[in-house]
Amino acid sequence: MNTVSPTKPTVVAEQKRIGMVSLGCPKALVDSERILTRLRADGYAFAEDYAGADVVLVNTCGFLDSAKEESLAAIGEAIAENGRVIVTGCMGEEAEAIRAAHPQVLAVTGAHQYEQVVEAVHTHAPPSQGPFIDLIPQPDIKLTPRHYSYLKISEGCNHSCAFCIIPSLRGKLASRRIDAVLREAEKLVAAGTRELLVISQDTSAYGVDTRHEPRQWKGRDVRAHMTDLARELGGLRTPEGTPPWVRLHYVYPYPHVDQVIPLMAEGLLTPYLDIPFQHASPKVLKLMKRPANEAKVLERLKSWRAICPDIAIRSSFVVGFPGETEEDFRYLLDWLEEAQLDRVGAFRFEQVEGAAANALPDHVPEALKEERYARIMEVTERISAAKLAAKVGRTLPIIIDEVGEPDEDGDIGATGRSQADAPEIDGAVYLRNVPETVVPGDIVNVVIEDADAHDLFGAIGPG
């Protein structure tokens, strides 16, 4: 199970224990953290395995059919291992399908329905009523390592992309108050976070639903707007007085994104943008119901790199969308050759129940999807290999994620990431012969000695 064992207050022996299986994207992981934090405040402890849990929560993903299958399998495993299961998350919107596959589940709730989840836990595993001895408030529960944290700034999405059902799962855009977001970020950094990963369904649209309502923060008005948020996050400092890395995800290339690039050049933001382009062909983008401004995007990429040469751009693309011709696909490959993106993920189009794309004509045969997927990955891997090879010989700041045990010669290896690498989705930097004083969360200067198509290799340098 993907769960945690936070520092435990002294409690009565009858304290109930909760297990958690968290699936899907970082936004779902934040939901899991919030649910567990609330349950701990209600007197629950947490189990590290199925056997030790009074009830198991499964936070599901329902974005693609393959994700639904994974969710159903996880529910089945939890039932087989424990028997007392509560389901939440995106697939929770399909309660009938879940109950048809697993009629034993105790309750089903939808995405970010925190109160309903807690109520279901109270019903099926009532909390102990004994008083807590330790009354010192504890920090929020994190399911990520101590040194990086996801900062969710909004829920939902106002787009109506033909291949997506997120608005039906998570609703329209609902932005958090800017002062609440900044307070959470400040608290995380003070508690040891060295890297903040800003997430949402559409980070660029933050505050649109509230008309960018300003709030008081540190004695001044700050708007609920991506640029104001980025500037304020760039002003945070760790207890040691250094700026944390601030990484922006799910950034649609609206015009105001241009305003955050100088902050990256100044070192206030991590020079990294995660932009979901999805395709480049104007025809396919129109079928997807997405903006078809690929030529302007190429111009802006050049201007961003002129301002901040080290900026890393990552994106994802769908191949085999209904109506995609060989000409459209070749257009995408040519666009990628010119765009020279640093990190690229590709996905074969999957029909999702409820998505408008299902009704489009000219679906691409599965064999052709596979052939196009192989071709796009070949192109992007070649681009990635060349970009990483150009970093050999440079000294880069690297955040340490994991430190290994000494080998037979006493050498210690470590795994980290550069500013161009987000956790879980991008590459890694493998370090040799690190000092025994290095721990996860340290940011060290590394001399890059070698590279392959995805990862870098090096050793800690001076400074």
Instruction: Give the span between the Cα atoms of 265 and 304, in whole angstroms.
Output: 10
Upper half-sphere CA count for residue 6 (Cβ side, 13 Å): 23
What is the pLDDT at residue 42? Answer: 84
Asked if residue 114 lies in contact with residue 31, where contact means CB atoms within 8 angstroms, the answer is: yes
Q: Do 17-124 and 148-389 come out as alike in CATH topology?
A: no
Q: Which amino acid is at 10?
A: T
- Global pTM value: 0.83
CATH architecture of the region 17-124: 3-Layer(aba) Sandwich (3.40)
Q: What is the mean pLDDT of the chain?
A: 90
DSSP 151: E
Instruction: Give the span between the Cα atoms of 154 and 199, in whole angstroms.
Output: 8
Instruction: Give the span between the Cα atoms of 17 and 14, in whole angstroms.
Output: 9
CATH number of 395-460: 2.40.50.140
CATH architecture of the region 148-389: Alpha-Beta Horseshoe (3.80)
Q: What is the mean pLDDT of residues 176-200?
A: 96
With 0-12 CB in 10 A as exposed, 13-18 as middle and 19+ as buried, what is 264?
buried
Give the Cα-Cα-Cα angle 291, 158, 423 (nearest 5 degrees): 80
Instruction: List the chain domain ranges.
Output: 17-124, 148-389, 395-460
What are the tens digits of pLDDT across the range 14-68? 789 999 999 888 888 888 888 888 888 888 899 989 988 999 999 998 777 788 8
Residues paired with residue 78 on neighbouring β-strands, in sequence order:
none
Q: Which amino acid is at 363?
A: H
What are the tens digits of pLDDT across the range 100-148? 999 999 999 987 788 888 899 999 988 875 544 444 456 677 788 889 9
